[in-house]
Amino acid sequence: ILEDKHAEANCKSCHTRSNIIDLEIKEKNFTYLGLATECLSCHDDYHQQSLENDCLKCHDFKAFKPAPGFDHQLSAFPLLGKHLDVECVECHIMQEINGKEFQLFKPLEYQSCVACHEDVHRAKFGKDCKKCHSEVSFLQLKEINSFDHSLTDYTLTGQHQFVGCKECHKTNYTAPLNHGRCMDCHEDYHKADFTQTNKQSDCDDCHTTSGFTPSSFSIERHQQGSFVLREAHLATPCFACHFEENRWAFRNIGQLCVDCHSDPHQAAISQKYYPESDCRSCHSERSWRQIQFDHTRTGYELLGQHQATDCRDCHYKTDELTNTIQQVFNELPNACVSCHADEHAGQFVEHDQNNCNSCHTADDWQPVLFDHELTRFALEGAHAKRACKECHKPASINNQFVINYKIDHRCETCH
């Protein structure tokens, strides 16, 4: 039965001697027999043996084009997304083979996207573009959060893992970015405090991607600097020295004690005892109360019990008018009575001075140095065995009730 275009064909178009394939019939002068029913027995093979010979699998009798029997979705490469809008000839190109028009349908390389599309990533991420891209649009990424950034030359660690892609890739995802140093993306918080000549320093010298704080700068590294931490300074939090006016500061902090600490003595102590206001001349870095001043430098050496005396007992006094404590370090008198009460009520004052050291030592109040032989009454005989108090009795002297040492040494005074 002739259908469609075949029904319109002239009989002689098919029934010609050249189309008869049966040789016995072909010997006859005139016949309508001996023709084959296969398309290619009459028609040229447009596909030039690149496809199967079953033309009706794709074409019908209405026209050679289009091929209504062909369903691209049943092929090894179903058309999805933007591929549906692509003209056939963009993939199945027209060419001339054996002097005839020819359109290639197979074999075509289609397993890899880069067989047709330019690899803008230059083979960095492999050939399976669909891992990241959608066939709807190259710019429409799918599962971008699962993209393995370590495939690039910048692995995301720490807080970088939670940064939105567009915060770094502002134009597109393939535009090259400077990423060799932290400051390529981040502002220099320290405002070039750590920029050193001939040294390629970067934030990761002290910080990690886990967070800007806390710093990874260690005590060991601080000890390599110009200010070595010792004693109590080792327990001092960083912000106590390095945080000022709402920002961290690390330059021009100063290394003298008074650069960080107030000088409680101010002008009360002569600078000759602590040049350049170096408190360590007297104080220890372990504790402010730990004093190690060499008192012999003042001309008054501390001996005996004086060594155990608190500095404040001598150098602090209360102003009776203002009821404030004042420091007294300069030009302190060194006579005993300047600090101690005269227990003898002036009995031993000579030339307006008391020489306590004649009898007493700084180790003990007991008069271990007193030699009675040097007085006006040398002890002889039975006198040498008498207790002091048998002769020297309490009496009121200069409005003080004290032991009387200035006694009459005549015999009848006691006997």
> What are the pLDDT digits (tens) for 181-217?
888 899 888 888 887 644 667 888 899 999 998 889 9
The stretch 309-326 carries a mean pLDDT of: 87
Tens digit of each residue's pLDDT (9 = 90 or more) over 269-301: 888 888 877 888 888 889 888 888 889 988 899
Task: Give pLDDT tens digits for 81-121.
Answer: 999 999 999 999 999 999 999 998 988 888 888 888 998 88
Q: Is the pTM above the cut of 0.85?
A: no
| Confidence (pLDDT) at 199 | 60
Lowest mean pLDDT among 21-30, 67-76, 183-192: 21-30
Please, what is the average pLDDT of the chain?
87
**Better pLDDT: 17 or 311:** 311
> Scanning the structure block, which residue is given the tokens 């399976």?
128
Residue spans of the domains in the chain: they are 5-103, 259-332, 341-414
pLDDT confidence band for 327 (50 / 70 / 90): confident
- State residue 276's pLDDT score: 79
Residue 52 is inside which H or E element, if any?
none
pLDDT tens for residues 393-414? 999 998 999 999 888 888 988 8
Q: What is the CA radius of gyration of the chain?
A: 56
Helical residues (DSSP H) of 122-186, grouped into ranges: 165-168
Q: Which backbone phi and psi does 17 adopt, to 5 degrees?
A: -60, -35
Strands 349-350 and 324-327: unpaired
Q: Which pLDDT does position 10 carry in this prediction?
A: 87
Structural tokens at position 266: 């101010």
User: Looking at per-residue confidence, does 76 or 33 come out higher?
Assistant: 76
Q: Within 142-256, where are the H helices?
A: 165-168, 219-222, 239-242
Q: In this structure, is the dihedral angle defined by the CA atoms of residues 139, 145, 150 and 155, taken in order, positive or negative? A: positive
First-to-final CA distance of the chain:
178
b/e 184-199 (16+ beta carbons within 10 angstroms → b): eeeeeeeeeeeeeeee
Cα 32 to chain centroid distance, Å, stands at 95
CA angle at residue 205 from 200 to 206, to 5 degrees? 145
3-state secondary structure of 106: coil
CA–CA separation, 257 and 278 (whole Å): 6
- Per-residue pLDDT tens digits for 212-232: 988 899 999 999 988 999 999
pLDDT for 143 beyond 80:
no
